[in-house]
C-alpha cells in the first residue's frame, strides 16, 4: 500500500514539474508574442505618421504653387488696370490707393488689413460675405 502511495506521489510530482515547465514555456512564448505585437504597433504608428507627414507636405506644396500662380496672374492683371478702375480704391482709413489683390492677399497688412473699411467692400465673392 505504501508503494502505491509513493508511486502516486511521484507521479503527481512529475506531472506538477511537467506542468510548471510547460507553463514557463507558454508564458515565455506569450511574452515574445506580446513584444512582437508591441513592435508591430510602433511600426504601424510610425508608418502612419510618416505617410500623413508626406501627404501634408504634398498638399502644402500644391496649394503654395496654386496660390503663387494666382498671385502672379493677378499681378499681371493689376499692371493693366488703369488708376480709376474699380479694382483700385482709396482706403478710407489710411488714405492710400490700393488694389483689391493687395487687400485679398494681405500685401498691405501693416496699414489696411486691421483698419481698412474697404476690406468689406472689396472682398472677392469666393472669400465670403462681409462681417
Strand partners, 97: 90
- Within its chain, how far is the Cα of 81 from the centroid? 40
User: Is residue 123 predicted with pLDDT exceeding 70?
Assistant: no
Spatial distance between the Cα atoms of 79 and 56, rounded to a whole number of angstroms = 34
pTM of the model: 0.46
Position with higher pLDDT, 49 vs 129: 49
Per-domain residue ranges for the chain? 1-80, 84-126
Amino acid at each position: 500500500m505504501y508503494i502505491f502511495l509513493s508511486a502516486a506521489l511521484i507521479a503527481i510530482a512529475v506531472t506538477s514539474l511537467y506542468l510548471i515547465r510547460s507553463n514557463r514555456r507558454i508564458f515565455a512564448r506569450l511574452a515574445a508574442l506580446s513584444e512582437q505585437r508591441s513592435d508591430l504597433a510602433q511600426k504601424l504608428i510610425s508608418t502612419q505618421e510618416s505617410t500623413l507627414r508626406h501627404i501634408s507636405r504634398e498638399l502644402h506644396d500644391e496649394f503654395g504653387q496654386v496660390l503663387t500662380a494666382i498671385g502672379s496672374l493677378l499681378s499681371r492683371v493689376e499692371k493693366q488696370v488703369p488708376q480709376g478702375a474699380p479694382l483700385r480704391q482709396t482706403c478710407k482709413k489710411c488714405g492710400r490707393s490700393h488694389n483689391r489683390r493687395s487687400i485679398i492677399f494681405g500685401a498691405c497688412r501693416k496699414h489696411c488689413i486691421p483698419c481698412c473699411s474697404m476690406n468689406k467692400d472689396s472682398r472677392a465673392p469666393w472669400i465670403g460675405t462681409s462681417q
